[in-house]
Amino acid sequence: MSSNEASWIETEDWHTAGEPFRIVDKLPTGHLPEGQSVAERRFNVMKKSEHPLNVLRQLLCHEPRGHADMYGGFVTPPNDSGAHFGVLFWHKDGFSTACGHGTIALGYWAVNKGLVKAPEGDGIVEVVVDVPSGRVVASVAVKQGKPIHADFINVLSYQLGKGLPVKIPSHGSEISVDLGFGGAVYATVDAAQLGLKVEPNHCGDFIKLGREIKVALGEKGNYGTYGLYGIIFYDEGEHAGDESVAVTQRNVTIFADGQVDRSPCGSGTCTRLAILLAEGRLRPGCSKLLHRSIIGTLFEADIVCEEKSPLDEFPACIPRVRGHANLVGRMNFLIDPADPVFPGFLLR
C-alpha cells in the first residue's frame, strides 16, 4: 500500500461477550514493525505516531470504520516456534499489552480458519499466542469440530497495592482503590464507595470517574514499564450459594482514555482473581469467580495454580477465564488517503 494510493484491507470481525475484536490477518507490505518479539514490535510502533501500522489502527478503529469503543488485533509472527502466532492488540488510543477477550476471539478464529488442528469430533485444542505481556493460551473446546467456548490462560497475575487513598473532583470523600497486574495494570474500585451500581445508565459516570482516578493516581499507577491501563468498577453480587464455590461480581472496565469494555474484561478478570486470592476469597482449583459485564454477559474464571510471586506482600497465580466469541462479519474496507476524514475521527 503506497501512501497516496487507495487500497483495500480485509478484516474478520468477532465479538466476545459483546466486546468487538477486529482481526487483521494479512498486513500490507511495510506495516509490520521491527522487532524480535511482539513486545519489541509494540514499543517500535508506539515510538512513531506516523508509523504506517499506527495509521492503519486509526483507520480501522476510529469513525467512520469503527467507533470510540472499537478494539482489534494485528496478527504478527510469533516470538519463536513455541507459539502459533503473535498479536498486536489495539484500541482507540494505541496498543495494549494484554487482552483476554481478544485472545478468546483469536482462539475461535484460529480453529475456524484451520490454523490449528482441532479434533474432528469433541475435544480441546490449545492455541498459543505471543502477546506484548508474554505467552498466553486460548484453550478451545470443540464439539463436532466447532468451538463452543475458550479458556484464556494468562501470564502470572498478582495484586500490586492495597487500599490506596484517592481524592477525585467528582466525589466528596476519599475513595480507596486496589492495584493489580493481569498482563496490564488495573486499579479496582468497589462501585458502592461511589454510590453507583454497575448498570448501563451509569456508563457516562464511570467514564468520567475512570479518567479522574487515572489522573489522581498518576505515577502511583505505574508498574515497571507498564502504565495504568484501566479502572475496574465492580459490584458485589448475590452469593451463589456456598462462598467457597463462587464469588459473583459485576464490573465495568474503563481502559485507555475513557474506553468502555462491553465484556467483563479478560485481563481485568485475571486481576480481580489475583486480588480475591490475596483476600483469601478464592483458592486455586476449587472456587470460581462468576464475572458479569455492564451489559450482563458472563466470564467464568478460576485459578489454575498459585506460583512464586515477584512481590513479598501478595500471592501470584495463573488465572483462567472462560468465555464465548461470535463471528460478526467479514469486512473489506477501502483505505483512501483522498478521503476528507482520513485517517478517521473520534467524538470522545
Ligand X SMILES: O=C(O)[C@H]1NCC[C@@H]1O
251: left (phi > 0), else alpha (psi -120 to 50), else beta?
beta
Q: Let me know the angle formed at the C-alpha of 51 by 48 and 57, rounded to the nearest 5 degrees.
A: 110
- The nearer residue to ligand X, 1 or 319, going by C-beta atoms, is 319
Q: Among 74, 255, 314, 333, indicate the residue that binds ligand X (CB under 6 A).
A: 255
DSSP result, 87-153: EEEE-SSSEES--HHHHHHHHHHHHHTTSSPPPSSSEEEEEEEEETTEEEEEEEEEETTEEEEEEEE
Looking at 61-69, 98-106, 121-129, 213-221, which segment touches ligand X (CB under 6 A)? Answer: 98-106
Q: Is 319 in the site for ligand X (CB under 6 A)?
A: no
What is the contact mask toward ligand X in residues 36 to 75, using x (rule: CB under 6 A)? Answer: -----------------------------------x----
Q: Which stretch binds ligand X (CB under 6 A): 93-101, 200-208, 276-284, 332-340?
A: 93-101
In the complex, least distance from residue 230 CB atom to ligand X, rounded to whole angstroms: 6
Strand partners of residue 289: 247, 301
Query: Could you tell me the smallest distance in angstroms from the CB atom of residue 118 to ligand X?
Result: 23
Looking at 12, 19, 178, 302, which residue binds ligand X (CB under 6 A)?
19
Asked if 76 is part of the footprint of ligand X (rule: CB under 6 A), the reply reads no
Is residue 21 within the footprint of ligand X (CB under 6 A)?
no
**Member of 35, 107, 180, 266 binding ligand X (CB under 6 A):** 266
Nearer to ligand X, 1 or 131 (CB): 131
Q: How far apart are CA 144 and CA 154, in angstroms?
A: 27
Q: State the number of CA atoms in the 13 A half-sphere of 7 facing the CB.
A: 12
By beta-carbon proximity to ligand X, the closer residue of 78 and 230 is 230
Which candidate in 61, 99, 270, 317 is catalytic? 99
Q: Which residues contact 41 (CB under 8 A, 6 or more apart)?
A: 32, 33, 34, 35, 76, 86, 88
Query: For the window 101-140, what string marks contact with ligand X as x by the rule CB under 6 A?
Result: x---------------------------------------
Which listed range, 6-14, 59-67, 115-123, 265-273, lies at the site for ligand X (CB under 6 A)? 265-273
Instruction: State the minimum distance, in angstroms, from the CB of residue 183 to ligand X.
Output: 7
Distances 347 to 64, 67, 222, 259 between C-alpha atoms, Å: 11, 9, 28, 12
Q: Check: CB of residue 233 under 8 Å from CB of residue 191.
A: yes
Residue 98, interface with ligand X (CB under 6 A)?
A: yes
Check residue 234 for interaction with ligand X (CB under 6 A).
no
The β-bridge partners of 320 are 153, 302
Contact between 100 and ligand X per CB under 6 A: yes
Residues listed for the chain:
348
Identity at 135, one-letter amino acid code: R
Contact 142, 125 (CB under 8 A): yes
Q: Which stretch binds ligand X (CB under 6 A): 43-51, 95-103, 209-217, 240-248?
A: 95-103
Rule CB under 6 A: say whether 99 interacts with ligand X.
yes
Judge whether 99 counts as a catalytic residue: yes
22 lines the binding site for ligand X (CB under 6 A): no
Does residue 299 belong to the site contacting ligand X (CB under 6 A)?
no
Binding stretches for ligand X (CB under 6 A) = 19, 71, 96, 98-101, 255, 261, 263, 265-268
Catalytic residue IDs: 99
